[in-house]
Structure 1
Amino acid sequence: MCDELPETIEVRHGDRAYQVVPLVELELTEPHAGELLRRYRARQRQLASDG
């Protein structure tokens, strides 16, 4: 745990590394991305309750 979120985090895919912003920051600063994340979470909750 940390007191402050980092500006970016490193995500690795195979041999490549990408600097990306944390999802929570993206959700707060990009309304469209935030809506997509909320829809995804709602769908996951629905699938979990149906299973």
Structure 2
Amino acid sequence: MISRHRKVLREARVVGSERRGTWVYYWVLPPALERLPALLQVPEPAASTSW
């Protein structure tokens, strides 16, 4: 399951990777970090009306 998530993150260009022998190293790509605040913003709740 973890390898599937890593694949999705690589395809979405959120992480980069490099194989060194039997090890694979992963890192977060800078453009993904720049987009992160916009992705994490929570929308304002709709104004509620009291009856």
TM-score, normalization: structure 2? 0.29
Q: Which has the larger radius of gyration?
A: 2
Higher RCO (C-alpha under 8 Å, 6+ residues apart): 2
TM-score by length of 1: 0.29
Q: Return the structure number with greater helix share.
A: 1
